[in-house]
């Protein structure tokens, strides 16, 4: 019997969605399954452009259905629905990050357009989606990365109310084929933030020069150059501070997609790894008979379950967000940083078990082991996202506000607020509901209780031993604190989703035994920081806890892992 907690193409039936969403998700799975594993791996190894997949998506109107907001839609089934977008992320990650990447950067490219008041540009984008075109997000530059304060894409007034844009962009996905590239630049004749401009460019225009693919991959991560590219009124998406806000708010929308892609990668790799290990005999016993192998695979499994629970619950906060509820601004970098780094740990645990098999060219695992590394490094590094997460620490831990519970959001609704988020500032004023009731609901689960002790200890740390003004400039120290805080947020949403889905308590307890160990490890790391005070060092050692062990519980969880052997294998 298939594990209900993991995606399995053999049994996948997204019955919780409307009929057209179900059809499109199932059609996507069937397209990959019909293509087969050999072709999937060969396309990855040969760095083939994704023309056939994009042709399928165009024929099925996949991108047009999922990425056209209701406000500009021509069909009732078109909307921007984060729940079904997340479902497609997982499927595309399951079959290969290259496919997901073309979709992901299309989402980023659309962000500034759907936030724009330019009706002509919005209509143009909707038409391009209907024709099956992809999009690109022209923000980063070779010299400055994503430092948008320092853009060298310059727009010179042309004397007729328009501009001529010149400059280069670097690390721009889909830059080889995008029907519309949302490009960030600044006016040469206006100083400061008032000079920012977001405009729409076409990669097929003669003044658009494609330089190269900067990576060795099917993902076309381009460098392109504009030379006197004409920008008319219908091409201007945002000006001034609104252009700056559109850039950051687009990343808020697009960053979320990395978590579910990571989940899909790990799920496919887990089927391969468990099947291989369980059927390989060493010293007269299956590899999975060794205690350390069982622990590593069980840890990988519960970490993966935690990734899914957190991400599913975060969807609800995105879909329920509004001007007075911006909790998603914390859960967003959490999905980007915490879930994707958990994905790395899941792959590493399985790779320790299957060893050399993970390098073999006829496995999905070989590409999973490479591609899982990229996700924590896209849309900002782990360090950038941790620094962002820290902005919410005090209000989340110590200053809860009254909110009505956010329901599970699987309804067929348009998430319109994501394109009217407003000014990208004021993060320190965002308030949160009390995190403690999520833990109280599981006061009978030993490792949830043990982890709650550590979370309460972190609150004491913030009250009594928080970094002083000088330490607040020591990012190395602060990042250790950020890891501890991230674990509390991670645990909270896991528990909220566990309750909503009636998660097996054995799995939950085993998962929190892992989180207890993780908290202890980060506390020890904080203890060793050069600038940590004696009080902080003492606190750190005092926060170390041993998880509650239970051999019978672990054995029951192992049975779930063992059952993954042979549960899915892609057709040749």
Beta bridge partners of 181: 136, 201
Per-residue DSSP letter, 197: E
Judged by DSSP in three states, 31 sits in helix
pLDDT digits (tens, 9 = 90+) for 271-315: 999 999 999 988 888 899 999 999 999 999 999 999 999 999 999
Six token digits for residue 180: 């519309």
Strand runs (DSSP E) across 132-244, as ranges?
Answer: 135-138, 154-157, 163-173, 180-187, 196-201, 208-213, 221-231, 236-239
Calculate the CA 38 to chain-centre distance: 28
pLDDT for position 282:
84
- Per DSSP, the residues of 295-309 read HHHHHHHHHHHHHHH
Q: String of b and e for 200-228 (b: at least 16 CB within 10 Å)?
A: bbbbeeeebebeebeeebbbbbbbbbbee
pLDDT digits (tens, 9 = 90+) for 69-80: 999 999 999 999
Q: Which of 190, 179, 111 is nearest to 151 (CA)?
A: 190
Q: Which of 400, 439, 248, 418 is nearest to 317 (CA)?
A: 418
Pairing of strands 221-231, 236-239: unpaired
Looking up tokens 């996700």 gives 375
Q: Contact, 101 vs 379, CB < 8 A?
A: no
pLDDT for position 156:
97
Per-residue DSSP letter, 335: I
SS (H, E, C) 136-156: EEECCECCCECCHHHCCCEEE
**Distance (Å, whole) CA 306 – CA 501:** 13
CA distances from 249 to 121, 384, 421 (A): 18, 16, 7
pLDDT for position 525:
97
**Distance (Å, whole) CA 466 – CA 453:** 18
Q: Contact, 545 vs 519, CB < 8 A?
A: yes
Residues 6 or more apart whose Cβ sits within 8 Å of residue 449: 442, 443
Average pLDDT of each block of 10 consecutive residues along the chain (572 residues)?
92 96 98 97 94 98 98 96 98 98 98 98 98 97 80 94 96 97 97 95 98 95 98 97 95 93 98 95 88 97 98 98 96 95 98 95 96 87 88 96 95 96 90 98 98 98 93 92 97 98 98 98 97 97 98 98 97 90
- Report CA torsion sign: 316, 389, 259, 562: negative
Judged by DSSP in three states, 72 sits in helix
**Distance (Å, whole) CA 462 – CA 57:** 49
Radius of gyration of the chain (CA): 24
CA distances from 89 to 21, 96, 254 (A): 13, 10, 11
Beta bridge partners of 165: 155, 229
164 conformational bin, left if phi > 0, alpha if psi -120 to 50, beta if neither: beta
Residues 6 or more apart whose Cβ sits within 8 Å of residue 308: 5, 6, 263
Calculate the CA 452 to chain-centre distance: 26
pLDDT for position 425:
85
């Amino acid at each position: 019997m298939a594990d209900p907690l993991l995606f399995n193409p053999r049994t996948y039936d997204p019955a919780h969605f409307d009929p057209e969403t179900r059809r499109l998700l199932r059609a996507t799975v069937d397209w990959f399954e019909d293509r087969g594993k050999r072709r999937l791996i060969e396309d990855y190894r040969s760095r083939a452009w994704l023309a056939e997949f994009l042709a399928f998506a165009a024929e099925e109107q996949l991108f047009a259905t999922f990425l056209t907001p209701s406000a500009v839609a021509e069909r009732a089934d078109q909307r921007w629905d984060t729940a079904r977008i997340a479902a497609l992320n997982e499927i595309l990650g399951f079959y290969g990050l290259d496919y997901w990447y073309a979709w992901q950067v299309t989402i980023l490219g659309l962000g500034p357009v759907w936030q724009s008041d330019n009706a002509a540009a919005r209509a143009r984008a909707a038409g391009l989606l209907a024709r099956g075109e992809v999009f690109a997000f022209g923000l980063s530059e070779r010299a400055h990365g994503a430092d948008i304060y320092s853009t060298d894409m310059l727009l010179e007034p042309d004397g007729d109310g328009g501009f001529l844009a010149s400059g280069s962009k670097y690390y721009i996905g889909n830059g080889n084929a995008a029907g519309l590239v949302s490009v960030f630049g600044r006016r040469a004749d206006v100083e400061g933030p008032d000079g920012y401009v977001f405009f729409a460019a076409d990669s097929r225009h003669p003044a658009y020069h494609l330089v190269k693919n900067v990576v060795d991959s099917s993902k076309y991560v381009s460098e392109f150059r504009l030379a006197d590219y004409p920008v008319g009124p219908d091409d201007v998406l945002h000006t001034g501070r609104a252009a700056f806000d559109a850039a950051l708010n687009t990343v808020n929308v697009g960053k979320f997609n990395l978590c579910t892609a990571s989940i899909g990668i790990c799920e496919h790799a887990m089927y391969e790894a468990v099947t291989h290990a369980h059927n390989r005999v060493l010293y007269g016993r299956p590899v999975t008979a060794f205690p350390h192998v069982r622990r590593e695979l069980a840890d990988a499994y519960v970490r993966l379950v935690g990734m899914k629970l957190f991400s599913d619950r975060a969807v609800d906060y995105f879909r329920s967000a509004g001007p007075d509820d911006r909790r998603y601004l914390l859960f967003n970098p959490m999905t980007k940083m915490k879930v994707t780094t958990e994905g790395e740990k899941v792959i590493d645990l399985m790779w320790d078990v299957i060893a050399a098999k993970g390098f073999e060219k006829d496995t999905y695992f070989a590409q999973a082991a490479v591609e899982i590394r990229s996700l924590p490094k896209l849309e900002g590094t782990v360090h950038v996202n941790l620094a962002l997460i820290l902005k919410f620490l005090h209000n989340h831990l110590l200053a809860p506000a009254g909110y009505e519970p956010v329901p599970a959001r699987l309804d067929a609704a348009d998430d319109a607020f994501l394109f009217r988020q407003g000014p990208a500032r004021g993060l320190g004023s965002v308030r949160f509901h009390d995190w403690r009731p999520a833990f109280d609901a599981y006061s009978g689960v030993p490792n949830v209780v043990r982890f709650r002790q550590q979370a309460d200890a972190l609150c004491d740390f913030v009250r009594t031993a928080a970094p002083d003004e000088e330490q607040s400039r020591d990012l190395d120290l602060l990042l250790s604190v950020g890891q501890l805080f991230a674990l509390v947020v991670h645990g909270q949403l896991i528990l909220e989703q566990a309750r909503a889905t009636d998660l097996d308590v054995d799995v939950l307890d085993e998962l929190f035994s892992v989180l207890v160990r993780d908290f202890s490890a980060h506390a020890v790391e904080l203890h060793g920081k050069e600038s940590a005070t004696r009080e902080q060092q003492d606190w750190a050692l005092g926060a170390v806890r041993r998880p509650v062990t239970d051999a019978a519980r672990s054995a029951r969880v192992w049975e779930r892992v063992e059952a993954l052997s042979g549960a899915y294998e892609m057709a040749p």
